Amino acid sequence: MGRREYVGGGGGMPGWLGGLVEESFFVGCEAHESRRKNEKNIFCLGCCTSICTHCAPAHRSHPLLQVRRYVYNDVVRLDDLEKLVDCCFVQPYTINSAKVVFLKPRPQSRPSKGSSNICLTCDRILQEPFHFCSLSCKVDHVLLRGEDLSSILFRFEDSDFAFSRFESLQVDEDDGPIAANATLEQPAQSKEECLPPSHGGGGSGSSGTRKSRFFPRIVLSLNNRRKGAPHRSPLS
């Protein structure tokens, strides 16, 4: 298996990219509705569709990308995504030492009045120096500017998304969706070599790997901990 490049004709939207930002993940798989743990949390880059872990063996010769869930939103590890797309100026978040990027815009909780830095596509409030809240927003911005999407897409090795990465994928019985009040750490800093969003970003994605588990257990607030054992007043 060699190096692939999934780019649409004439610089248009390639099928895998359109599917990745539009597909529904973490819904039950129709083909395995009677099986447990049948949520669609894998994206097949070859078929441009979401699949579940029970479907994965039928796609063993295709490049597969794992999609994860955070606060009821679909995210992908930055280490994986930047092998496919230039993620410069997309705001990443750090969860248990793993950087992730949101696939779709997150719902805006409050108006962005008075904010000095907002998403160039959906106006969501961001931290400096980022310009996009999600992969979808960056893709939409490039298209609205009439630029060629090939300027932000990379060739990649099939081995980086091989089926073997999913053969040992196990989901613990008590690992449910991450609660809405889970703590999100500060966004990670952008790479120094990133170009401004008006320029095409060329280059190659990172090939780093991480050994730690992706999602932390829900951490109880320190305010909920007992300050000490109660003491009985002395008898009179």
* Residue reference for tokens 């060739």: 155
Give CA–CA dist 75/43, Å, rounded: 12
- The pLDDT tens digits of the residues spanning 203-216 come to 444 444 333 333 23
Q: What is the DSSP string of 210-234?
A: --S-SSPPPPPPGGGS--S---PPP
Give bridge partners of residue 42 from the DSSP assignment. 51, 66
Which two structure tokens, joined as six digits, stand for 234? 């002395």
In this predicted structure, the answer to whether residue 166 has a pLDDT above a threshold of 60 is yes
Mean pLDDT of 20-47: 94
d(CA 77, CA 69): 11
95 DSSP β-pair partners: 98
Task: Over range 60-88, report the average pLDDT.
Answer: 94
Element (H, E) at 20: helix 15-22
In this predicted structure, which of 57-66, 175-184, 200-209, 226-235 has the lowest mean pLDDT? 175-184
Q: What's the pTM value of the predicted model, to 2 decimals? A: 0.69
Q: What is the mean pLDDT of the chain?
A: 74
> What is the tens place of the pLDDT at every residue in 41-70?
999 999 999 999 999 999 999 999 999 998
Amino acid at 135: L
**pLDDT at residue 150 in the model:** 92
